[in-house]
Chain A
């Protein structure tokens, strides 16, 4: 009886010590969860989630905010977040849109610079009273520049499939059809 108790006690002490050691040795600084969440978010900085940028939204998610607020991330993004956080996959809280690109109609642009101020990633170049243009490789398609334009010269265009971004499709399994 006594031996049994002693053995159990010893086991508890050893395991407790091991856990204590591990918590010191493998201590994690900062909040890696926010970083992991942010890595999944598409970094469009569009604010469609209601937060000013991807990082604030990541912080909010870590604090319990819904994971389905990010339209550019799409359902795929919701799924990844659900995977990471062990939460349930929810339908996206908005319409899923294909990836877009802002295009400034250079004939109409009056050079007001409002869009330049709106762009979260400095993807629009131009100066006051000079024509502006979108650097398409930097544009995240966030649409933040569309509203501020006083002459409505900015439109969003869906990025079309081209030979450069074409992808091989998932092979179709045709078992049913054969049967």
Chain B
């Protein structure tokens, strides 16, 4: 018998899963337009690779990963790029994000696909492949998978945990994927196993999914792996990575630690599936399984192209008349989609049509009576009511002392709160304020450092200049004595004006003038300008500006010296 561990807290909401598993996964039809946001994963914003008017093939890369923690984005079908512009994001803010708008040509014409024999490759190449094929965590966190496939240097990898728990109510996309495509999931897990080389591979599935459990066990048999498929007790949030790791291995990974440092790593089943498609079929992540459920006539799971507008997807489920909005994600951690134009993205595991009967409007918020129900429900064993108290008072330092960053925003505390306090909202507010302040603080520190450096530099330059001038004056004075008539042409005027007294002020001016002349000549002969190769119109404009500039020449001269260090940096 496999030994399971318990995590503290958690809740047991009504699962509401049965309605959406009666029908198999269906392929959603091609929409008239696809809006593919470039930023669909944690990390760097991918750079757009296409321009408006360009024709793309299905699977063609349209966003290039930026930095290591980032993932590529691809054209979900063949067609023409209409534009690359800001479109409303599938994000609680409702703000726009840079997206590639694509008009499908209906031919669904693939780019060239090449399977990868990953066994013969360096692990590094395999990770690159996963990054370039847009494989990210499909459980909802969309963290680039390749970055998680690195074992800690000092700690041997003991367990690889595969997350098929799917604890959020209503959501059944992983369940259906495991029922229908178990073998490919298992093969995908095999890739992860080969990259991480753990001692054991544990696939955790909540015990309310007997079909998925059976399918996965059968698939493990067929593929001939020694993965253990484990039924875990149904209790939200058993599907949280840290909770599942705890249940299966007994290890508690705190917020401050990365799980490989404790010899364990966790991936979602759908991620394993896409990894297999990417490696063995050369198919980037172009679609995902989305549960469409809630207040709709036909709840079921759809395989939806990324970038499909919400409007096109929900039409497939026929929402009922009293639908008031759409939640992306589960009812515990999801958020309301800002618009029907917002697209399906890699993080969209579930769309729930909401109605007042399904999700009753929140009861009025009462004061906290410190009953401690939230503390008992918190799977991270925090004291939510204390956090609430401090977050409400905007005492962010205290919220950090009470470990606000260990909060996974699972919503258990709000779920059990008899005072109906939107605790998670308070915590999100506090977290984003802390982040914003951190940013501001860093900026202020940097500004201060630069300001101080600049002051220092100015002081230093002044001192150096004075020294230089003193030296020059001394040298001049020495030279002037024996041959007072042999002064250079440029300083004639100076000597005239100052009646041969050769005071330092005059020497300074002369030196500057000479230096400027030299610099000018040098620049004209050597330095290329960004004013070369211009059109006639632009040249004209420059000439005009130059004309305007002439009267301003005086202050500019002074500036030339000071400006030099600014360029160096």
A-side residues, CB < 8 A to B, are: 38, 41-45, 53-54, 107, 110, 112-114, 116-117, 120-131, 138, 140, 150-151, 161-163, 165-171, 173-175, 178-179
> Given contacts A113-B556, A171-B429, are A43 and B566 in contact (CB under 8 A)?
no
Partner of B530, one of A107, A116, A131, A140: A131
12 more contacts with CB within 8 A, not counting A150-B549, A165-B439, A175-B365, are: A43-B443, A110-B549, A113-B556, A113-B559, A116-B566, A120-B454, A130-B530, A140-B443, A163-B97, A166-B95, A169-B429, A173-B365
Nearest residue (CB) in B for A135 is B569
Partner of B447, one of A113, A131, A138, A150: A138
- 16 contacts across the A-B interface (CB closer than 8 A): A43-B448, A110-B549, A121-B447, A122-B566, A122-B569, A126-B567, A129-B529, A140-B443, A161-B93, A167-B429, A167-B432, A168-B425, A171-B425, A171-B426, A173-B365, A175-B364
Q: How far is the CB of A43 from chain B (nearest CB, A)?
A: 4
Q: How would you classify the secondary structure of chain A's contact residues: helix, strand, loop or mixed?
A: loop
Docked CA distance A42–B437 (Å):
11
B425 touches A120 (CB 8 A): no
B315 within 8 A of A: no
A121 touches B450 (CB 8 A): yes
Q: How many residues of B contact A (CB 8 A)?
A: 50
Docked CA distance A35–B394 (Å):
24
> Given contacts A138-B450, A166-B95, are A124 and B549 in contact (CB under 8 A)?
no
Most buried by B among A114, A128, A151: A128
> Given contacts A110-B549, A140-B443, A163-B95, are A116 and B429 in contact (CB under 8 A)?
no
For residue B545, which residues in chain A have a CB less than 8 angstroms away from its CB? 110, 151
Docked CA distance A127–B565 (Å):
10
Docked CA distance A125–B92 (Å):
37
A128 touches B95 (CB 8 A): no
A112 touches B429 (CB 8 A): no
For residue B446, which residues in chain A have a CB less than 8 angstroms away from its CB? 138
For residue B440, which residues in chain A have a CB less than 8 angstroms away from its CB? 42
For residue A54, which residues in chain B have a CB less than 8 angstroms away from its CB? 448, 451
> Given contacts A114-B559, A166-B95, are A45 and B429 in contact (CB under 8 A)?
no
B428 within 8 A of A: yes
Docked CA distance A128–B563 (Å):
7
Total inter-chain residue pairs, C-beta < 8 Å: 123
Docked CA distance A148–B450 (Å):
20
CB-contacts of B529-567 with A (<8 A): 529-531, 541, 545-546, 548-549, 552, 555-556, 559-560, 562-564, 566-567
B-side residues, CB < 8 A to A, are: 39, 89, 91-93, 95, 97, 364-365, 422, 425-426, 428-429, 431-433, 436, 439-440, 443-448, 450-451, 453-455, 529-531, 541, 545-546, 548-549, 552, 555-556, 559-560, 562-564, 566-567, 569
Nearest residue (CB) in B for A161 is B95
A125 touches B443 (CB 8 A): no
> Given contacts A121-B451, A122-B454, A168-B425, are A128 and B559 in contact (CB under 8 A)?
yes
Partner of B93, one of A38, A128, A166: A166
A112 touches B566 (CB 8 A): no
For residue A116, which residues in chain B have a CB less than 8 angstroms away from its CB? 559, 562-563, 566
For residue A121, which residues in chain B have a CB less than 8 angstroms away from its CB? 447, 450-451, 454
For residue B531, which residues in chain A have a CB less than 8 angstroms away from its CB? 129
For residue A45, which residues in chain B have a CB less than 8 angstroms away from its CB? 447-448, 451
For residue A140, which residues in chain B have a CB less than 8 angstroms away from its CB? 443, 447
For residue B454, which residues in chain A have a CB less than 8 angstroms away from its CB? 120-122
A42 touches B549 (CB 8 A): no
For residue B432, which residues in chain A have a CB less than 8 angstroms away from its CB? 166-168
Docked CA distance A41–B444 (Å):
8
Q: How far is the CB of A13 from chain B (nearest CB, A)?
A: 40
Nearest residue (CB) in A for B451 is A45
Most buried by B among A130, A138, A178: A130
